[in-house]
């Protein structure tokens, strides 16, 4: 007689040919686990493997494309930046060339138009070689000299100043700069060695070349005179055609 199964169990009877029937009994929870939970787990695991494989391949493909794209973008940006820089530098050089060309033409015209005329000396320029029709335009200043600082360092006097463009047109100032120091009966010049060996006068274009739109610092060193003596620093700026644009004197008592 086959025993009556409980409510929490399933009962199976297995019979084959002439063999005696076999009785199997299994708990309901375990049967559900075998038939539902385990296959579902395998299905979920299989789906997870597929998803992981798909995203891994996509990430690898994107990673392979990113360096090439970034390099291409950086290369294009760098190339564009270099081109713009070269264009700007070319424009600046062309503008400076045109300014130099105009200055040279003006100087040639000045020298050729006054053939036979006698050069009129300018006040305070006895050291300089005068050219025909040379003008003193320093009465109409186009710049100011600011932040003058004179210091004594070892056996030297150090002259520092800033040239500030004050022209109403706000154009660039260009020309040749000199600083002359007078102390007792001696004179010193900046730049050094501006006097030629054959002559005892200075040509206006032997000065330090200046070209600035707003601000230009000046630094000049001179031998230190005797203690207690008074030194005078004269700053002169000539245009590219030889006209005097600015002159100013700064006294200093040596300590």
Report how far residue 31's alpha carbon sits from residue 26's, in angstroms, rounded to the nearest whole number.
Answer: 7
Q: What is the pLDDT of residues 234-253, one digit of tens each?
A: 999 999 999 999 999 999 99
CA gap 95, 90 in Å, rounded: 9
- What tens digit of pLDDT does each residue of 166-187 get? 987 768 999 999 999 999 889 9
119, pLDDT greater than 60: no
Dist. CA 127–CA 158, nearest whole Å: 22
Q: Who has greater pLDDT, 31 or 49?
A: 49
pLDDT for 85: 86
Confidence of residue 7 (pLDDT cuts 50, 70, 90): low
Q: What angle do CA 66, 86, 81 make, to 5 degrees?
A: 20
Predicted confidence at residue 121, as pLDDT, reads: 46
**8 pLDDT tier (thresholds 50, 70, 90):** low
pLDDT at 200: 75
Instruction: Please give the pLDDT value at position 116.
Output: 44
Q: What average pLDDT does range 37-44 have in this prediction?
A: 77
Residue 246's nearest CA partner among 201, 207, 188 is: 207
- The yes-or-no verdict on residue 148 having pLDDT over 70 is yes
pLDDT tens-digit readout, 61-93: 776 665 554 545 555 666 777 888 888 888 888
189-200 pLDDT tens trace: 999 888 766 777
- Whether 128 shows a pLDDT value over 70: the answer reads yes
pTM of the model: 0.55
Round to whole Å and give the CA distance between 211 and 97: 13
Highest mean pLDDT: which of 8-22, 30-44, 57-71, 150-164? 150-164
For residue 179, the cross-strand partners are: 190, 235
pLDDT score at 240: 92
Q: Does position 211 have pLDDT exceeding 90, yes or no?
A: yes
- pLDDT at position 55: 76
How high is the pLDDT of residue 194? 86
Averaged pLDDT for residues 132-146: 90
State residue 115's pLDDT score: 47
| Euclidean distance between CA atoms 244 and 207, whole angstroms | 12
């Amino acid at each position: 007689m086959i025993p009556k199964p409980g409510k929490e169990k399933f009962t199976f009877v297995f019979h084959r040919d002439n063999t005696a029937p076999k009785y199997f009994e299994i708990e309901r929870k375990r049967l559900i686990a075998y038939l539902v939970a385990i296959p579902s787990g395998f299905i979920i695991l299989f789906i997870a493997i597929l998803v992981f494989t798909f995203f891994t391949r996509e990430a690898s493909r994107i990673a392979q494309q990113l360096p090439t794209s970034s390099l291409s973008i950086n290369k294009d940006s760098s190339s564009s930046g270099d081109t713009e820089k070269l264009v700007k530098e070319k424009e600046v050089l062309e503008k400076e060339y045109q300014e130099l060309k105009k200055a040279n033409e003006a100087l040639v015209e000045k020298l050729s138009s006054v053939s036979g005329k006698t050069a009129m000396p300018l006040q305070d320029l006895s050291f300089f070689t005068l050219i025909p029709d040379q003008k003193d335009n320093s009465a109409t200043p186009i710049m100011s000299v600011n932040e003058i600082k004179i210091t004594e360092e070892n056996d030297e006097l150090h002259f520092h100043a800033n040239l500030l463009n004050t022209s109403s047109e706000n154009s660039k100032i260009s020309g040749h700069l000199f600083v002359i120091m007078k102390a007792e009966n001696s004179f010193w010049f900046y730049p050094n060695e501006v006097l030629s060996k054959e002559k005892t006068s200075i040509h206006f274009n032997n000065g330090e070349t200046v070209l600035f739109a707003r601000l230009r610092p000046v630094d000049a060193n001179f031998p230190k005179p005797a203690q207690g003596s008074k030194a005078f620093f004269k700053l002169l700026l000539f245009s590219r055609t030889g006209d005097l644009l600015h002159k100013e004197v700064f006294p200093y008592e040596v300590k």
